[in-house]
């Protein structure tokens, strides 16, 4: 069984096209949602520099198997090239902003290979972000596998 580790990381304008936020979302809510999609894109493209900007130093992820993965472990997976993603896209997102903190929830659709085996899965995610010096970064991500 493959365990998915997905935090829920592109330019804000192009990410906004994928997000399709509910009418009336604030600028800060749209920015937070765009950061989560940018992180997805960075994982798919194996863009370590982008991930280092988007994931807070204290970032951790709770995976579908309830394992806690650190930022260093997530970045090492990217360096190792496993898993490899063909698709890593957020959709059906909502965001709530509380000052310099935000909570983004939605669905991430994934397709790729891990350990040489193909996978395709949707997971529900909750990302917690903080804004420091005007820049959002992901502090915690939690994912739960959705039934097929």
The third-level CATH classification (topology) of the domain covering 12-145 is Nuclear Transport Factor 2; Chain: A, (3.10.450)
**Helix, strand, or coil here: 3?**
coil
Short-list 114, 148, 101, 116, CA closest to 6: 114
Instruction: Work out the pLDDT band at 22, boundaries 50, 70, 90.
Output: low
Is the per-residue pLDDT at 27 higher than 70?
yes
Q: CB of 2 within 8 A of CB of 119?
A: yes
What is the model's pLDDT at position 23? Answer: 58
Which backbone phi and psi does 77 adopt, to 5 degrees?
-60, -40
Q: 83: cis peptide before it, omega within 30°?
A: yes
pLDDT on residue 38: 97
Q: Where do the structural domains in the chain lie, given as residue ranges?
A: 12-145
Q: Tell me the pLDDT band of 35, cut-offs 50, 70 and 90.
A: very high
Tokens 């600028």 correspond to: 27
**6-10, 97-101, 103-107: which has the minimum mean pLDDT?**
6-10
Q: Is pLDDT above 80 for 132? A: yes
């Amino acid at each position: 069984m493959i365990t998915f580790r997905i935090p829920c990381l592109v330019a804000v304008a192009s990410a906004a096209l994928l997000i399709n936020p509910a009418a009336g979302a604030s600028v800060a809510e749209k920015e937070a949602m765009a950061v989560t999609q940018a992180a997805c894109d960075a994982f798919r493209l194996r863009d370590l520099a982008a991930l280092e900007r988007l994931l807070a130093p204290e970032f951790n992820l709770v995976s579908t198997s309830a394992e806690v993965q650190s930022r260093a472990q997530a970045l090492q997976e990217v360096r190792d090239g496993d898993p490899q993603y063909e698709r890593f896209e957020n959709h059906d997102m909502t965001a709530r902003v509380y000052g310099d903190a935000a909570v983004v929830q939605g669905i991430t659709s994934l397709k790729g290979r891990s350990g040489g085996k193909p996978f395709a899965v949707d997971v529900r995610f909750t990302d917690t972000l903080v804004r420091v010096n005007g820049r959002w970064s992901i502090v915690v991500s939690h994912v739960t596998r959705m039934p097929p």
